[in-house]
Structure 1
Amino acid sequence: MPNPQESKIEDFAFEYLQGYYTAQQGAKNILIGRSEKNKQGVEVEGLFTFKHSDNSIFLATVTFKNSQRLSKLLTSFKKEGLSKFRFATPVIMLLLGFYLSLRFELGITGFALTLVAAAAGLILHSYFLLTYLKRSINTLVNELKKHQANEQWLGISISSLIFRNNSLANYFLKLCQRRGIGVITVGKRSKVVLMQEPRTNICRKGDFLSHYASESSIRKAMQDDTILRVA
């Protein structure tokens, strides 16, 4: 078993999702592909394919590409909140405002305006910093738009405790929920936690397998009723 401090979602996600689809949808002979590419050359870390009872093909993807960056953003916000550097803005404005008030003899009015400006500076700096963090998360989640599948999963190497009382983590989960993305995590105890299930998408023409470079080999394996594991 891996060291608890070195747990990585990619070491657990494949077995977990195989069990998930076996239990949730009664899937049999799940074909598992690793590092698969679609026909546009975009790589997805995990591909799960199986047939429903009506012979329709179901495909799910999982990615860990941005796991480390997402984990760092959410963990830092949980532990430290917004950067303390933002307090430099009101301090600088206070010093500058007091200097100008004394220099031009603005008196109480000048000091009052300085306090208001410093408070506004802190609020604006905090707002823009939080907006930057949210945009960073949006950019990382947007990567999944390139993956065509009935269901999409995002795996993160992070403790599920980081999501408690963490407004940035809540924003991340709501963003994934709006886009129908399932989220699984693994922390130091090497236990996979299902944070949220994905929404099922319907392919308008045929099935999503037609978007992938290994389409023909996977279809052949499914016809042969064999289990395929791509290294």
Structure 2
Amino acid sequence: MAESRIGDQAIEFLGSYYAKHEKKSGLLVNRLVPTHQGTFADALFAYQKHDNCFFAISLNISASNKLARLLSTYKKKGLGRSRYFTAAFIFSAAAYLCYLTGSWLAVALIPAILAIAGFFLHSRLRKRYLQQQLKEAVDQLKQQPGDHQWLGIQVSSLCWRGNEMADYLSKLCERKGIGLLTVGKRSRLTLRQEPRLATCRRTDFLSYYTQGENLRRELSDQFMRVA
């Protein structure tokens, strides 16, 4: 249900976005467009430019639930409580072993040092794990190529604001040239990041999709009628 809502809003927004920025009112929009590799673009926009080249825009919303869950969990729990249990266990085990040695100096110093080191190591590994989960979700867009690529997420502004993982996701999308849209609980859509033009190694990005030839034909017919 959430994916359907963000999909409807994202498609409506992108239609207006390209009508304004590219002066295009005749975009072709298709949902669940298969690629030749067996993956699907949740939505694919296409139009023909005045130089007769074809322009494709892919939208991914299938990663929305996973990303929203990661961001929400981090916002509520941070890196989690398990790292405190790890530190407590290390402290207890080290204190017991040092006690067996009979060295009170070791009991006073070593357990605390090891517990602190364990706490920070656990925190670092947990943070790296969360970042890797975000990266894997964003990397899915490689399977839905386009001149512009967009990622849509259903997440509240409250969850997004002041969220270190949300900042990491924004920077990740910026680095990869991916546009980022979020839709909050009140159905307010926010443009977080605009996409950069991708480099195509084929004739055009429509060639990656099974419907590519049909889309070219339909766009050419539409272009000729307008001309």
Shorter-chain TM-score: which interval?
over 0.9
Q: CA separation in 1, counterparts of 2:202 and 2:120? A: 50
Query: 2:71 — aligned with what?
Result: 74
Distance 1:219 1:157 in 2: 32
Q: CA deviation at 1:174?
A: 0.7
Residue of structure 1 equivalent to 2:126: 129
The 2-side partners of 1:213 and 1:6 are apart by 24
Question: What does residue 181 of structure 1 align with?
Answer: 178
- Read off the aligned partner of 1:80 and give its amino acid letter: K
The one-letter code matched in structure 2 to 1:215 is G
Match runs of 1:158-177 below 5 Å: 158-177=155-174
Shift of 1:94: 1.5
Residue 153 of structure 2 contacts residue 181 of structure 2 at CA under 8 Å; is this kept in 1?
A: yes
The number of equivalent residue pairs is 223
Identity %: 36
Corresponding residue number in structure 1 for 2:196 = 199
Kindly state the Cα deviation for residue 7 of structure 1 after the two structures are TM-superposed: 8.1
Cα deviation digits, residues 148-170 of structure 1 (max 9, x gap): 21000000011133222211111
Q: Which residue of 2 aligns with 1:11?
A: 8
Q: Deviations for 1:100-156, whole angstroms, at most 9, x for unmatched residues?
A: 233321102232011100000101010111111111111111111112210000000
> Partners of 2:187 and 2:154 in 1: how far apart?
9
Residue in structure 1 matched with residue 37 of structure 2 by the alignment: 40
- Tell me which of 51, 75, 91 is aligned to 1:94: 91
Give the equivalent residue in structure 2 for 1:55: 52
Query: For structure 1, which runs of at least 5 residues remain unmatched after alignment?
Result: 227-231
Distance in 2 of aligned mates of 1:8 and 1:108: 62
Higher relative contact order (CA 8 A, sep 6+): 1
Which residue of structure 1 lines up, in the alignment, with residue 151 of structure 2? 154
8 Å CA contact retained: 2:91, 2:111 = yes
Alignment of 1:214 with 2:211, yes or no, is yes
- The one-letter amino acid of 1:199's match is R
State which of 105, 113, 118 in structure 1 corresponds to 2:115. Answer: 118
Q: Normalized against structure 2, the TM-score is what? A: 0.92
- Structure 2: distance between partners of 1:166 and 1:82: 12
Distance (Å, rounded) in 2 between the aligned partners of 1:112 and 1:211 = 61
- Partners of 2:139 and 2:3 in 1: how far apart? 27
* Residue 39 of structure 1, CA deviation: 1.5
Amino acid at match of 1:121: G
Secondary structure, aligned partner of 1:65: coil
Residues 178-228 of structure 1, C-alpha deviation per residue, up to 9 Å, x if partnerless? 1110000101111111010011124244211111111122122112218xx
Would the aligned equivalents of 1:7 and 1:187 in 2 still touch at CA under 8 Å? no
Where does the alignment leave 5 or more consecutive residues of structure 2 unmatched? Answer: none
Bigger helix share: 2
CA–CA distance in structure 1, aligned partners of residues 208 and 220 of structure 2: 18
DSSP 3-state at the match of 1:41: coil
With normalisation by structure 1, the TM-score equals 0.91
- Residue 83 of structure 1 corresponds to 80
CA, structure 1 residues 102+198, in 2 after alignment: closer, same or farther (shift >3 Å)? same
Return the alpha-carbon distance in structure 2 between the equivalents of residues 204 and 100 of structure 1: 61
